[in-house]
Amino acid sequence: MTIQQIFALAIATILSSNVVLSKPWGICSFLGVSKKKSSALGMGVAVLIVLVLASLVTWLIYNYVLVPFDVKFLDIVVFILVIATLVQLLEMVLKKFFPSLYKVLGIYLPLITTNCAILGVALEATGNNYDLAKTMIYAVSAGLGYMLVIFIFSGIRERIETAPIPKPFKGVAIALIIAGFMAMAFAEGFKGIA
Amino acid sequence: MTSEQIISLVVILVVLISIFITVFLLNRKTPKPKGCEKLHAECDACKVTTCERNILGKENIRDE
């Protein structure tokens, strides 16, 4: 894999093929935890950490357990179990050894268990037969893309809170319209880059 | 599906579920650090007001 290919994959995953805006995966937490910039950033960092760890573990399990035993069809069930276990494990480690980090990220970890961006990235990496390096680049880029988009979205939502919006559009309605504009901006605006 | 596949399937699922239950119970037993006892994420993405993270349900209770 050349440097150009690595950059192309990373830039495309962060911008034009962003997991939230183009797939779209992880919409629940994207809408639910984006009212404040601070909580959006916390969620973004937590997703990035879990995404990288989950992609690594699921890639290893897929290639060294599911493929050799010819039970590839179990991938979704196995990946869900692995992600749920990983989130519990991470929460426990943070509670025990990194209390200050738990105070910042701990509240978002249970929300990540049901975040389909984690499952989607793991399934796409194995489905496209990516090697470990490519899987890691894809996972890091997807996590950074999620963090970037949720942070921008929360910034817009904070400003929208004080804007004179018609009553029927307030709340999630205007948030979905903003998300739609962002999806168009990211998909079309960054199309030629990667 | 061959018998080997069925055995592998059962073994893999049993192992993974056992690991999950063990880690889940260990996590529940691990005490939260001081000052984090009442921390929880607030979410308003859906209308499932029975979810403990949904703030819409709490607002309704306050209104009543």
CB contact, 8 Å: A92 with chain B?
yes
Q: Which residues contact A162 (CB under 8 A, 6 or more apart)?
A: none
A155 and chain B: CB distance < 8 Å anywhere?
no
List pLDDT tens digits, range B11-56.
999 999 999 999 999 999 988 888 777 776 677 767 777 776 777 6
The amino acid at A10: A
Q: Cβ contact (<8 Å) for A82 and B46?
A: no
What is the model's pTM? 0.84
A·B CB contacts under 8 A: 93
Q: Which residues of B touch A172 (CB under 8 A)?
A: 44-45
Residues 2-41 of B with CB under 8 A from A: 4-5, 8-9, 12-13, 16-17, 19-20, 23-24, 26-27, 30-36, 39-41
Give the whole-angstrom CA distance, residue A64 versus residue A116. 23
pLDDT reported for residue A84: 92
Does B12 sit within 8 Å of A32, measured CB to CB? no
pLDDT, chain A, mean: 89
**Does the pLDDT at position B63 exceed 60?**
no
Q: How far apart are CA A167 and CA A164, in angstroms?
A: 9
The minimum CA-CA distance between B56 and chain A, rounded to whole Å, is 11
8 Å CB contact of B20 and A85: yes
The shortest CB-CB distance from B41 to any of A65, A95, A111 is to A111
Verify whether the Cβ–Cβ distance B45 to A35 is below 8 Å.
Answer: no
B15-24: long-range contacts at Cβ-Cβ below 8 A with a sequence spacing of 24 or more? B16/A78, B16/A81, B16/A82, B16/A85, B17/A81, B19/A85, B20/A81, B20/A84, B20/A85, B20/A88, B23/A85, B23/A88, B23/A89, B23/A92, B24/A85, B24/A88
Q: Which of A43, A82, A95 faces B16 most closely, judged by CB atoms?
A: A82
What is chain B's Cα-based Rg? 20
Q: Do A71 and B26 touch (CB under 8 A)?
A: no
Q: Which residues contact A103 (CB under 8 A, 6 or more apart)?
A: B33, B35, B36, B39
| pLDDT tens profile A106-122 | 777 777 877 888 999 99
> Which residues in chain A are closer than 8 Å to B40, comparing Cβ atoms?
107
B16 neighbourhood in chain A, CB within 8 Å = 78, 81-82, 85
The confidence score (pLDDT) of residue B59 equals: 59
Residues 6+ apart with CB under 8 A from A43: A29, A33, A34, A108, A111, A150, B41
Q: What is the per-residue pLDDT across A45-103, written as a single tens digit (0 to 9) for each?
A: 888 999 999 999 999 999 999 999 999 999 999 999 999 999 999 889 888 888 888 88
